[in-house]
Amino acid sequence: MDWFGRAKIAFAHSSSPLALRKKDGTSTDLAEVCKASIPACQLNPLLFNGDIQTMWTVFKEHGPPIYYRRRIFDADPASYKGTFTVDFAVPPHDDTDASLPPRTAYFSEEDFAKIGSDDDKPMLIVLHGLSGGSHEIYLRHAIAPLVLNGGNWEVCVVNARGCANSKVTSGVLFNARATWDVRQVVNWARKTFPNRPLFGLGFSLGANILTNYVGEEGAGCPLKAAIAVGNPFDLEMANKALQRTMLGRVYSRVMGTNMKKLITLHKDEISKYTTLDYDKIQSITFLHEFDREVQTKAWGYPTEGAYYRDASSCDSVLAIRIPFLAISALDDPIAVYEAIPFQEFKQNPYTVLLTTSLGGHLSWFEIGGGRWHPRPICNFLNRMVNEIDLDSISPPANGQAPKSSQASGFDPMRRRMRINGSN
């Protein structure tokens, strides 16, 4: 056991990390920037393992008071038909909307029409975890230092379809491979704020989606850097780990129940836009049963195992061509140790994996109730913006990593699922 809550910190990265140029003209590399961004990890010694850390999230605190304005986006291209919502962090306001999460209100048409800007503020695009949203406490803790008390970042959160009190408006739902909405938001932000450097941050399922997105974009990714926190990486392995233990089945039951609640909230829309069996969904207990009854039927996978293998982001790590930091706790009972692709991180010079020996799943509770994970996240983002010459970061020729980074002929982004009319 780690002594008195002091977690061990370790890194996995290429022996030749991505070279970076500082604004002062000196040189560094991605591994050094990441290591300089990571503070000591001193957690609450009473929460001495991953299960206790994770379960402590049941005791809800208020968390930082982040205010949002929401915008409904029409999906583009049309093959991903439907709508999704994006919540933008804004100064405090007095508007209330009982249909939305706390401190969240819709943009007026007039105000959203004026949102475009030619400023060069850094902008962070965030993806939440399974069944969550912009209101999640772990997410608000992470972005609070960037937007409160003089923080100069612009932040928005892409809510998964049907989450955070958003409506389901088509049969195209979300899954662990659902990169289409974040891609649309990134492209929209690139056009709407042409001078802003864009960054990505994902948690848990959102980390898996973000990793897949960055891998799919490869050398053409519009983001300057990205961070994945608590990524399950290998969904099939993580699923088997959940089924293997009593506590794992408890977590799976909780997540399955949360997903059933989402379906219940959208019962009429699910019946209208899909052929899913609502009554059968209500009889499931565990998350893998939900995926068997919903994700396989919605996306045409023969089994939940086929869905997990196709949606996993462990291979996507090899295709990343922007600075990328992953943060994982080795005692995470949901995004389990066995699923972390250590060797893939060692192969790709654009990626660095940070692990802590303690922390649980998106927990990292410190003495007094604070969280550790916002500090490495914000430190890394601020170092990239304030110290690194972002324009000097160039992708390799033809988007390829050095030959030593890839097995010959291996395509890390080979995918089986297709939506009609899309690539």
Give the pLDDT confidence of 42-86 residue by residue, as tens digits.
Answer: 999 999 999 999 999 988 778 999 999 999 999 997 778 999 999
Summarize the confidence of residues 120-143 as an average pLDDT.
Answer: 98
pLDDT over 60 (residue 400): no
User: What is the predicted pLDDT for the residue at 405?
Assistant: 46
> Is 15 an active-site residue?
no
pLDDT tier for residue 401 given thresholds of 50, 70 and 90: low
User: Residue 100 above 60 pLDDT?
Assistant: yes
User: Percent of the chain scored above 70 by pLDDT?
Assistant: 95
* Residues whose CB is less than 8 angstroms from the CB of residue 273 and which lie 6 or more positions away in sequence, other chains included: 168, 169, 170, 171
SS3 68: strand
- Residue 9: both structure tokens together: 């910190």
For the cut 50, the answer to whether the pLDDT of residue 404 exceeds it is no
From 162, 173, 218, 209, select the one nearest 398 (Cα to Cα).
Answer: 218
Q: CA-CA distance, 165 to 106, in Å (whole number)?
A: 12
Which residues 6+ apart lie within 8 Å of 357 measured at CB? 2, 7, 8, 9, 10, 329, 330, 331
Cβ neighbors of 374 (< 8 A, separation 6 or more) are 141, 142, 144, 145
Q: Rounded to 5 degrees, what are φ and ψ at 405?
A: -90, -15
Beta strands in 230-365 (DSSP E): 324-329, 351-356
At 4 the pLDDT is 86
Q: Which tens digits make up the pLDDT trace of 216-227?
A: 999 999 999 999
- 416 pLDDT more than 90: no
Mean pLDDT in residue range 383-388: 98
Nearest to 214 by CA among 232, 199, 194: 199
The predicted structure's pLDDT at residue 211: 98
- Give the active site residue among 135, 141, 361, 373: 361
Q: How far apart are CA 67 and CA 87, in angstroms?
A: 9
Helix (H, G, I), strand (E, B) or coil at 125: strand
Q: How far apart are CA 421 and CA 172, in angstroms?
A: 13
For 319-327, what is the mean pLDDT? Answer: 98
Judged against a pLDDT cut of 60, whether residue 355 lies above it is answered with yes
Q: pLDDT category, 413, cuts 50, 70, 90?
A: confident
Q: Does the active-site annotation cover 332? A: yes
Average pLDDT rounded to a whole number, residues 306-331? 98
Annotation says 361 is catalytic: yes
Catalytic residue among 166, 204, 312, 328: 204
Per-residue pLDDT tens for 198-208?
999 999 999 99
Domains contained in the chain, CATH given: 3-232+314-393 (3.40.50.1820), 235-311 (no CATH)
Active-site residue identified among 332, 363, 373, 405: 332
Structure token digits, residue 14: 């290429």
If you average pLDDT over residues 371-383, what whole number do you get? 98
The pLDDT assigned to 125 comes to 99
Q: What is 350-381 written as a DSSP string?
A: TEEEEEESS-TTTT-BPTTS-BSTHHHHHHHH
Confidence of residue 418 (pLDDT cuts 50, 70, 90): low
Gyration radius of the chain over CA positions? 20
The confidence score (pLDDT) of residue 419 equals 62
Query: Mean pLDDT across the stretch 254-278?
Result: 96
Q: Taking all residues of the chain, what is their mean pLDDT, rounded to a whole number?
A: 94
